[in-house]
Structure 1
Amino acid sequence: MNVRQVFIGIVVCIFLTGCASLGSYNPATGRNEFIMIPTSEEIQMGQSVHQGLEKKYTLSTNSKYVERVNRIGQRVAMVSDRQDYVYKFFVIEGDQINAFTTPGGNVYVYTGLLDKMPSDDQIAFVIAHEIGHCAARHVIKKYQAALSYDLIGNIIFNQIDDGGRGYDLARLGSGALMSLVFSAYSRQDELEADQLGLKYGHLAGYDTNGAVEALEILEAESEGGGGPLILRSHPYLKDRIVKVKEAIPAVEHRYNSVVGHISQ
């Protein structure tokens, strides 16, 4: 292994550890984070994934669904800690009780989930949870880790390309990007997105009890064993319900003074 490969190995270690001393501050997480993927590239990734989703799924044009999701979503997006791109909201036709986000601020909600949650407070939490993943950059961190492991493999097998950049996100391909979108988050990421979702929903003027209700609906559906569920990418429901219930008093106490102003 030559000096150049050793240097690249050090860079990879920084990728994998998220070296705080070299990172920039993320107001959503309250941490310094080492993210090498710029916002401009993140938005391009989201556009690429959206094109793939349009080919694979049917995006609803039913105003009953689309207007509801967009109205709630835009209201919640206004209070996100991350305002460096435009949030967009889409509805997918399907029975799945699911929602997900992609790079660049795109949030997708299935009609199956909307049918199961009649309260806007419940939907607000689901959308706020997904926006929480965006603000905390959980999706991008998964992509960055995938690139890092890919680079490690090439170092090990002495396949480093000396010409050009070579290790950008295009290397993964749109299919791989979509696979990462649907891959499970860690327990820590899910809990963090819940806390951010609780905060954003409350700041937007929605009832925090909607968060508990939404998670309890998902838990009840999972126990019933019917159909594909949000559990595929959003596990740890029992633990999440407990944590959200515990967090509600502190969130309401901390942000009550600004809720009325923001939600108007």
Structure 2
Amino acid sequence: MSLALTRRVRQTAMVVCLCGAGGAAAACAPAVTTQQEVQLGADYSRQINQQLPLINDQATLQYVNNLGRRIAAVADPRGIPYNFYVVNSDVVNAFAIPGGHIYVNRGLIERSTNEAQLAGVLSHEIGHVVQRHSITQMQRAQNANTAIGVVYGVLLGRNPGGLEQAAVQVGGNAIFAGYTRDAEREADAVGVGYMVRAGYNPQGIVQLFQTLQSMQQRQPSSVEQWFATHPSEQERVANTQALIARTAGATASNLILDRQSFQTFRSRVQSLRPAPSDRR
């Protein structure tokens, strides 16, 4: 190997190491500030809101935003504005995007039997935002693709072609194959603490996990999105029970399990126009 090529290999190895193509996250991608995250989330939410069948009933939105913001106020020290949306879909699912935009499907609300169960879902999604899981994943993806690009540039003296670009994308996705479940576990962990600090009984989320576990046996299609990205409910029940046992104040008798306001909210959601048949 020539001296020049040896130097190129060393340079490439250093870049791959720093950028974390399978290693450390976000070492090369520029840091995303909170202000940038909020702007990014606002841009994403505008696009998402044009695509999803959202429920626009004001009483429904007022309830879910009041509940979600109560939790976010004790969870996120940055004080960013949180917005909560209800998707008119009977599929059990919820997701968060950067900047405090959280979406919960009607199907998940209708299968929650008390307020603490829904509070647990929102706490979990707020945990994704606070821990910046989406931002970290975006930076990792950028780093993986940047590192591969540098390999081509340094070793081959050219950019990857079309088929090679596709391979880069597949490689980047493979790097993150286990990331989502780790993020889900972390969101579960911090979510328990958020629930307690917001005054909710964390046993609610255990109850919901158990309900979803039962649904997987009876109605697998209605929960397939949930189980595609989350750890098994059996694992989550065990982990959450252990977290509750270690969390100060988590068994206090004054924590909220349910209120009539939730039952009124849930009944209202159930009375709204049925979810579209495409089951998005």
TM-score bracket relative to the smaller structure = 0.7 to 0.9
Q: Which runs of 5+ in 1 are unaligned?
A: 23-33, 160-178
Q: 5+ unaligned residues in a row in structure 2: which ranges?
A: 1-7, 155-172, 257-280
Q: Could you tell me which residue of structure 1 aligns to residue 42 of structure 2?
A: 47
* Aligned partners of 2:21 and 2:143 also within 8 Å: no
Provide the rounded CA distance (Å) in 2 between the counterparts of 1:158 and 1:150: 12
Cα separation, 2, equivalents of 1:187 and 1:15: 16
Aligned partner letter, 2:85: F
Q: How many angstroms does 1:11 deviate by? A: 3.8
Q: Which residue identity does 1:197 align to in structure 2?
A: G
Opposite residue 51 of structure 2, the aligned amino acid is: K
Is the deviation greater in 204-213 or in 84-93? Answer: 84-93
The answer for the alignment partner of 1:240 in structure 2 is 236
Does residue 1:156 correspond to 2:190, yes or no? no
- Stretch deviating more after TM superposition (200-209 or 75-84): 75-84
Summarize the alignment of residues 90-129 of structure 1 with structure 2, pairs less than 5 Å apart.
90-129=85-124
Percent sequence identity is 26
Residue deviations 1:129-165 (CA, integer Å, cap 9, x gap): 0111111111111111110111012112218xxxxxx
Compute the displacement of 1:45 (Å): 2.0
Alpha-carbon distance in structure 1 between the residues aligned to 2:178 and 2:22: 20
Alpha carbons 1:202, 1:208 under 8 Å: kept: yes
- What is the aligned counterpart of 1:200 among 194, 198, 223? 194
Q: How does 1:215-230 map to 2 (within 5 A)?
A: 215-224=209-218, 225-227=220-222, 228-230=224-226
Provide the C-alpha distance between the structure 1 equivalents of 2:97 and 2:129, rounded to a whole number of angstroms.
8
Contact 1:65 1:111 in 2 (8 A): no
Count of equivalent residues: 224
Distance 1:84 1:3 in 2: 44
> Aligned partners of 2:197 and 2:251: how far apart in 1?
7
- The one-letter code of the counterpart of 2:232 is Y
| Match among 220, 225, 231 for residue 227 of structure 2 | 231
Deviation at 1:16, TM superposition (A): 4.0
Could you tell me which residue of structure 2 aligns to residue 138 of structure 1?
133
C-alpha distance 254-240 of structure 1, shift in aligned 2 (>3 A): closer
CA deviation profile, 1:46-90 (whole Å, cap 9, x unmatched): 122212212211221124532221121011011114424211111
TM-score by length of 1: 0.74
In structure 2, do the counterparts of structure 1 residues 129 and 205 end up closer, same or farther at CA, with 3 Å as the change threshold?
Answer: same
